Amino acid sequence: MICPNCNNETSFHDERCEHCNTDLSITRRLVSWSNIYYNEGLTKARARDLSGAIESLKRSLKFYKYNTEARNLLGLIYYEMGECTDALCEWVISTNYKTGRNKAVQYVKEVQSDATNLDRISRNIKKYNTSLGYAQTGDYDLAVIQLKKLHSENPKYIQAGLLLALLYIRGGRKEGRVKAYKILRGILEIDKSNTQALTYIKELNDVRDKARARSRARQEETNKVDTKPKNTNTVIEDESVRVIVPYEEEKPMVLPVLQVLGGVLFGILIMAFVVQPAINKYKSQNSNGQFVEYSENKAAVDSETNSLREENADLSKKVEELEAEVADLQGGNPTDIANYKKMYENLIEAKQLFEEGSYRSSAKKLKKVDVKQLDSKKASKFYESFKDDAFLKASESYTLEGTDAYNGVNDYAAGHDYEVAMNLLNKALMFNEENTDAMYYLGRCYQLTGDTEKATEYFNTIVNEYPEARLYSDAASRLREMGYQI
């Protein structure tokens, strides 16, 4: 672990930096969170959920940028998906943060040492960018020609495959849709949860159903077993047994053909059961070798996080000691310090909830933070960096649910619930006073429950102060309905 104060290497288990005596309790907590996200990313990568793994690893690095294991794995995933430049970026940054005993040094050497490989990568990227340019300017045929060649040489270049599939789907032809389906299946084998691939493959349900029907028919064919009983007579002569097969007319055209087909089938079975598994084993050993190494590292990280949990009780004691120190420095009373501490905890939790996508909870936590009491400019800047986004997204989320309750749809399919709708829309306005959609639907709820005075207030606000609002004309017509001249 790197000490954030003096930037020297220090052990994760140290409570204080051995070089500058800085308290490392908060840093250790953040490093633990980084490791938790790294473990999550590693599990997802091993399950081939590469998109999910990228999200987890990026979060891990947001908490602790020196997590070289997370950064190296992120680079590997980018490389697997064909994004070689992004992979190199991560590995180069990793080598800058940690020079000794770092796998990234080896990865960068391997990529850069082979000039032919580098040249090939650069050409592929240029081909993809050119094809994208063609597609964006409407030259779809040229784009398809370039991308077909690129994809056949680099089936793991996911962006190229997705663009080609999209162009095939746009073409609308049956054979194009079948090709698109095969490409998307290939992409989903590399990255199980690739959102774009899943979206596109939904458009190809007809192709998928036909493929399944064909596979079922083939399955039924191979399950058929053809048996023919043979008649035999036994004749005992001089203690020997001879089996006489009764005479059957020869079918000259069928037997040789059957024998040839039997030989071919035997060869296919040998390939399928002997040769192919060996090839697959070799391939999976190669491609999974790196992940096996990371699983060894993961075991070490797991034991570190377990020991941190065991030390949880000690941390509380350390916090009390810290509070005493701060009280001594400030000369203030313990209640102020506790409030101060709670406020910063709320700020950190709000940021974490925001990163996880829980915008309502993040916004509620931020509401508890009094920005005027934040002494530090950096703390205020940290608060401002995501507060607007969190409030906006929380307001949108409340508006969506509020309009569902107003319309009686989705979770409120049982019927219109104007009380609940008003409660949710008021919360939406609490986080964004200029949310005109929330104002409009709140006005409608008041209008439909008989409170025309309040309804008029909201509609008037939209008409007078937000002439550019999406629901301006609806608000104006509601006012006319209630007898006002607009």
Partner 1 sequence: MNFEDELSKFRPSLDIDETEEAIYAQKKEDVVDVIQQIIDELKVSQIRKRK
Q: Does 323 bind partner 1 (CB under 8 A)?
A: no
Q: Which residues between 347 and 376 bind partner 1 (CB under 8 A)?
A: 348, 351, 375-376
Nearer to partner 1, 4 or 408 (CB): 4
Q: Does 83 bind partner 1 (CB under 8 A)?
A: yes
Q: Please choose, out of 63-71, 254-262, 290-298, 435-443, the segment that lies near partner 1 by the rule CB under 8 A.
A: 63-71
Count the site residues for partner 1 by CB under 8 A.
52
Q: Please choose, out of 116-124, 178-186, 222-230, 416-424, the segment that lies near partner 1 by the rule CB under 8 A.
A: 116-124
Q: Does 435 bind partner 1 (CB under 8 A)?
A: no
User: Which residue in 40, 86, 451, 474 binds partner 1 (CB under 8 A)?
Assistant: 86
CB 90 within 8 A of CB 71: yes
As a whole number of angstroms, the distance between CA 203 and CA 402 comes to 31
As a whole number of angstroms, the distance between CA 289 and CA 297 comes to 13
Q: Does 77 bind partner 1 (CB under 8 A)?
A: no
Half-sphere exposure of 70 (CA within 13 A, CB side): 27
Q: Does 382 bind partner 1 (CB under 8 A)?
A: yes
DSSP-based three-state secondary structure for 338? helix
User: Which residue in 45, 76, 88, 353 binds partner 1 (CB under 8 A)?
Assistant: 88
Tell me the closest approach of the beta carbon of residue 400 to partner 1, in angstroms.
20
Beta bridge partners of 90: none
Phi, psi dihedral angles at 395 (to 5 degrees): -60, -40
Cα–Cα distances in angstroms (integers) from residue 476 to residues 1, 406, 426, 446, in the given order: 62, 19, 21, 16
Q: Does 30 bind partner 1 (CB under 8 A)?
A: yes
Q: Please choose, out of 117-125, 242-250, 393-401, 471-479, the segment that lies near partner 1 by the rule CB under 8 A.
A: 117-125
Q: Does 377 bind partner 1 (CB under 8 A)?
A: yes
Distance between first and last Cα of the chain: 67
CB 475 within 8 A of CB 440: yes
CB 102 within 8 A of CB 92: no
Nearer to partner 1, 287 or 330 (CB): 330
User: Which residue in 170, 212, 214, 283 binds partner 1 (CB under 8 A)?
Assistant: 170
CB 437 within 8 A of CB 453: no
As a whole number of angstroms, the distance between CA 29 and CA 20 comes to 19
DSSP-based three-state secondary structure for 77? helix
Q: Which distant-in-sequence residues (6+ apart) come within 8 Å of 154 by Cβ?
A: 82, 124, 160
Quick one: how far is CA 267 from the chain centroid?
43
Q: Does 105 bind partner 1 (CB under 8 A)?
A: no
| x/- track of binding to partner 1 for residues 118-137 (CB under 8 A) | x--xx--xx-xx--xx-xx-
Q: Which residues between 185 and 214 bind partner 1 (CB under 8 A)?
A: 196, 199-200, 202-203
User: Which residue in 25, 43, 154, 159 binds partner 1 (CB under 8 A)?
Assistant: 159
Rg (CA), the chain: 34
| 407 token code pair | 């319309």
Name the residues that contact partner 1, by CB under 8 A: 4-5, 26-27, 30-31, 61-65, 83-86, 88-89, 92-93, 118, 121-122, 125-126, 128-129, 132-133, 135-136, 159, 162-163, 166, 169-170, 196, 199-200, 202-203, 329-330, 344, 348, 351, 375-379, 382
